[in-house]
Amino acid sequence: MDFISILSIFVLACFVGYFVVWGVTPALHTPLMAVTNAISSVIIVGALIAAAAAGVPGAKWLGLLAVVLASVNIFGGFAVTARMLAMYKKKERR
């Protein structure tokens, strides 16, 4: 992929993000932060590539460390979001 196609994806994704996030109800802003935090750990993709690559040991260990950090975030972020969302309940109709 060349730089321009990547840039196009990025710019369009910014617009998608803009409209989607304005649609998030303010009551869920804390779960929003938790879940965005979890998904931004998709950076683990880069960490996995570095960890799997042979040749440069330093890069491999940096990659492994990044895998640990990103995993903490992924598992912790999604779990804490799920925990929060499970608490939001509607009024019981009696």
Residues 6+ apart with CB under 8 A from 18: none
C-beta of 86: minimal distance to another protein in Å? 7
C-beta of 88: minimal distance to another protein in Å? 4
C-beta of 7: minimal distance to another protein in Å? 8
In 10 A of CB 64, how many CB atoms?
A: 15
CA 20 from chain centre, in angstroms, equals: 15
